[in-house]
Structure 1
Amino acid sequence: MEKTINLKELLQSLKKRLFLIIIFTATFTVISGIVSYFFLTPIYQSSTQLLVNQAKNKNEVYSPNEVQTNLQLINTYNVIIKSPAILDKVIEKENLEMTSGELEKLISVSNEQESQVVNITVQNENPQKSKNIANAISTTFQKEIKSIMNVDNVSILTKASVGSLIKPNIILNMIIALVVGLMVGVGIAFLLEYLDKTIKKDKDVEDQLGLPVLGTINIINIDSDTKKRGSNMYINETRGDSIGS
């Protein structure tokens, strides 16, 4: 027998196990919040900006060729900033207990297309340390690039400030956990409904046994007044029989 999906029955199934769905949703959300707040290591981020541009006197004008040269140098600068030649001096300056390779993983260098501004971003577990490392990288690079490439076209545009928290995002994690918990709860509710083979109504007989229902016996609810009247009638009839005999 081909079975059809009844939306009303699905909603009734969810309503019947609403408490179970709420339990799963709340549990996932609370666990996510606890793990995010107490167990995940917070990471802070600080950023500084460098301007790649040759310093000029008032009477000098900017040449398009110089701008294009600076833009071409930026890709090279991005590599040099993350090189041991710069990072080893930063580690020594800040007394960091890590290698240049480990420090490199905490740094990202980027620039907007056709922009002479280089962004240096540092992530660290300590907000103050992320700031110090970012500023140390910018000042060290500005100093060392003069001897590395024999140019003096880098200036610090913006210094880094105390790092801001970027992860974990507790609110986002809890929202994701809430959705996942809701989906799990709904899935388990449907699974329990699918595994429940008990016959509760006449339609279940047709669906599970494939037999037509010829008739049903309804349950008659007798209230207390009716029961009392019935008892009195029985007592009176009993007394009448006793007297007649």
Structure 2
Amino acid sequence: MEETISLQDIFRTIRKRAVMIISLTVLSIIVAAIISFYVLTPIYQASTQILVNQQKTDQQIQTTEIQTNLQLINTYNVIIKSPAILSKVIERLDLEMTTSQLANQITVSNAQNSQVVDVSVQDELAFRAVDIANTTAQVFQEQIQVLMKVDNVNILSPALLPEDPSPVKPNKMLNIAIATVLGLMIGVGLAFLLEYLDTTVKTESDVEELLQLPIIGLVSPIDDKDLVQTSPEVRKLRK
């Protein structure tokens, strides 16, 4: 019985504060849409792939050489984002940023046991993201021969600029969905908080709970018209 009453109270509170809950939800959606569409700067991404593989004149690759290349990839991932590479990228593209700022825009990764390294760049301008990705790969291919005395890096797939690039950030629909959920949570939470803080007596159950006494009777409300029609004395008194 207590569970039923508890559920009834929950639905009653939500129904009572429905306008406030809906208003807060709609307000959250509007704010999220404005921020996503007009405030946040779109970020574009471009990626290029680098193949780490020692060139062989006899067209044969030994297993030990493959393992060596795989072990070198972790080192290469660090070298790609090092100032030795990025400083030359900044110089070639005439970028107005530091090597640390550029490193924050670059992500280097590779699948497990894969000799292909993915270099992804995020930037506010789509064409600049493509330029940075391709230039980083080119500079790395050139400098690795000087730094490591090896020639086992080839550009497998350069970054390309699509005709109609679409940003990867912000995810407008995701932001709106999150705002909807947050608006509902805040609205429902505030509704129950207001209900908890409301100590006024409105129903017979409130009286019973307040006085800790059973209710033995109720007085129904009497309309003035009914009272006048059924009581001639009251009509005389009003005259």
TM-score tier after normalising by the smaller chain length: 0.7 to 0.9
From the superposition, tell whether residues 107 and 150 of structure 1 become closer, same or farther in structure 2 (CA, over 3 Å): same
Following superposition, the deviation at residue 182 of structure 1 comes to 0.5
Q: 2:61 maps to which residue?
A: 62
Deviations along 1:130-165, one digit per CA (max 9) or x if unpaired, are 111000001111122122222111111111123642
Q: 2:193 is matched by which residue type in structure 1?
A: L
Three-state SS of the structure 1 residue aligned to 2:168 is: strand
Match of 2:93 in 1: 94
Partner Cα separation in structure 1 for residue 178 and residue 211 of structure 2:
42
Q: Which residue of 2 aligns with 1:242?
A: none
Matches for 1:8-47 after TM superposition, within 5 Å: 8-47=8-47
Report the Cα distance in structure 2 between the residues aligned to 1:3 and 1:51, rounded to whole angstroms: 64
* Residue 64 of structure 1, CA deviation: 0.6
Question: Which residue number corresponds to residue 102 of structure 2?
Answer: 103
- 1:26-79 CA-partner distances (Å, limit 9, x unpaired): 11111011112211222211111000012234x431111111111121122112
Tell me if 1:187 matches 2:189: yes
State the 1:5 CA deviation: 5.5
Equivalence for 2:220: 218
Kindly tell me: are residues 53 and 157 of structure 1, through their superposed partners in 2, closer, same or farther at Cα, counting changes over 3 Å? Answer: same
Matched with 1:120 is 119
Provide the rounded CA distance (Å) in 1 between the counterparts of 2:117 and 2:203: 72
After superposing the two structures, state which structure 1 stretch, 11-20 or 213-222, moved more. Answer: 213-222
Name which of structure 1's ranges 30-39 and 5-14 shifts more when overlaid on structure 2. 5-14
Alignment-derived partner of residue 137 in structure 1? 136
Deviations 1:169-228 (A, max 9, x none): 11111111111110111111111212222222211111122232221111245878x97x
2:207 is aligned with 1:208: no
CA distance in structure 1 between the aligned counterparts of 2:138 and 2:18, rounded to whole angstroms: 60
**Structure 1 CA distance for aligned equivalents of residues 184 and 156 of structure 2:** 48
CA distance in 1, matches of 2:148, 2:203: 86
Residues 82 and 104 in structure 1, CA contact (< 8 A), matched pair in contact too: yes
Kindly report which structure 2 residues correspond to 1:144-183, keeping only aligned pairs within 5 A, or say none: 144-162=143-161, 164-183=166-185
> What's the secondary structure of 1:157's corresponding residue?
strand
Which structure has the larger Rg over C-alpha atoms? 1
Unmatched runs of 5 consecutive residues or more in structure 1: 239-245
Equivalent residue letter for 1:11: F
C-alpha spacing 1:63/1:196, structure 2 compared with 1 (3 Å): same
Identical residues among aligned pairs (%): 50
Cα root mean square deviation, aligned? 2.5
> Paired residues, what number?
229
Range moving further from structure 2, 66-75 or 154-163: 154-163
Deviations 1:89-123 (A, max 9, x none): 11111110112122111111111111100111111
Shift of 1:84: 1.6
Where does the alignment leave 5 or more consecutive residues of structure 2 unmatched?
Answer: none
Distance in 2 (CA, whole Å) between partners of 1:184 and 1:133 is 43
Cα displacement (A) at 1:10: 1.6
What is the alpha-carbon distance in structure 1 between the residues aligned to residue 59 and residue 110 of structure 2?
A: 26
Whether the aligned pair in 2 keeps the contact of 1:46 and 1:164 (CA below 8 Å) is no
Q: Distance in 2 between matches of 1:144 and 1:12?
A: 71
